[in-house]
Chain A
Amino acid sequence: QQPVQSPQAVILREGEDAVINCSSSKALYSVHWYRQKHGEAPVFLMILLKGGEQKGHDKISASFNEKKQQSSLYLTASQLSYSGTYFCGTEARGATNKLIFGTGTLLAVQP
């Protein structure tokens, strides 16, 4: 079953922060995060492999709560270039090499 992301859409002003959540009904082995701009391919941001793991990427970071089967993506001091649709992707335990993408979150950063 497809992971559920929230919110579905968010509009920000430059410099504001946002959090995107990803929730799965299955026990997870890993969580990926991708950003897709309109008309382009998804681009890999980061992968989280261990429960409780947090990773950072410039001003974009993510956490993984293995027990709750959830991950969150944190965007701080947003820039115009952050605009796009964000997808989490999950690999369930026992089903690796099968990345199931979430429902997507549309992020629009305005000047």
Chain B
Amino acid sequence: DTAVSQTPKYLVTQMGNDKSIKCEQNLGHDTMYWYKQDSKKFLKIMFSYNNKELIINETVPNRFSPKSPDKAHLNLHINSLELGDSAVYFCASSHKQRQGYTFGSGTRLTVV
């Protein structure tokens, strides 16, 4: 049983397209996150949701729109994709504060 699952694992698309990445966790955690890992391996937080409520929105272009239909799901929709959006996107979850994060396996997005 996968704890945090993301789909798709790989995504290759052309500039200007719109794409979505889905994330689901079956751990009963109440907080979910999106992180972006660039080619230099830097992990940068994008968004955080707690019980479906957005609590962190870093300086991310508004082409990125997260949606949390319930506390087990956090999806990421990206409009008008750009070359610079190419990266690995990780979904993660945690249970309350002061606990470790469980990461999904990542989605490698390549914009051509």
A54 contacts B by Cβ under 8 Å = no
Majority secondary structure of chain A interface residues (helix, strand, loop or mixed)? strand
A16 to chain B, nearest CB (A): 24
A49 B101 Cβ-Cβ under 8 A: no
- Chain A residues in 8 Å Cβ range of B35: 101
Q: Flag if A97 contacts B31 (CB, 8 Å).
A: yes
Segment at the A interface, from B12-20, B44-52, B78-86: B44-52
A97-B56 in contact given A32-B101, A43-B103, A47-B98 (Cβ < 8 Å): yes
Question: What is the size, in residues, of chain B's interface with A at 8 Å between Cβ atoms?
Answer: 23
User: Within 8 Å CB of A30, what residues of B?
Assistant: 98
Residue of B nearest to A101 (CB): B43
Check A32 against B100 for contact (C-beta < 8 Å). Answer: yes
A contact residues around B90 at 8 Å (CB): 41-42
**A97 and B100 contact, CB distance less than 8 A:** no
Interface presence of A79 (CB below 8 A)? no
> Is A99 positioned at the interface, with any CB of B under 8 Å from its CB?
yes
Could you list 16 examples of A-B contacts with CB < 8 Å?
A41-B104, A41-B105, A41-B106, A42-B101, A42-B103, A43-B103, A44-B100, A96-B97, A97-B50, A97-B55, A98-B48, A99-B45, A101-B43, A101-B44, A101-B45, A104-B41
Could you list which residues of chain A lie within 8 angstroms of chain B, going by C-beta atoms?
2, 30, 32, 34, 36, 40-47, 49, 85, 87, 89, 96-101, 103-104
Question: Which residues does B use to contact A, with CB under 8 Å?
Answer: 31, 33, 35, 41-45, 48, 50, 55-56, 90, 97-106
List 10 tightest A-B contacts by C-beta distance, closest first.
A44-B100, A41-B103, A101-B43, A96-B97, A42-B103, A41-B105, A104-B41, A98-B56, A47-B100, A41-B106
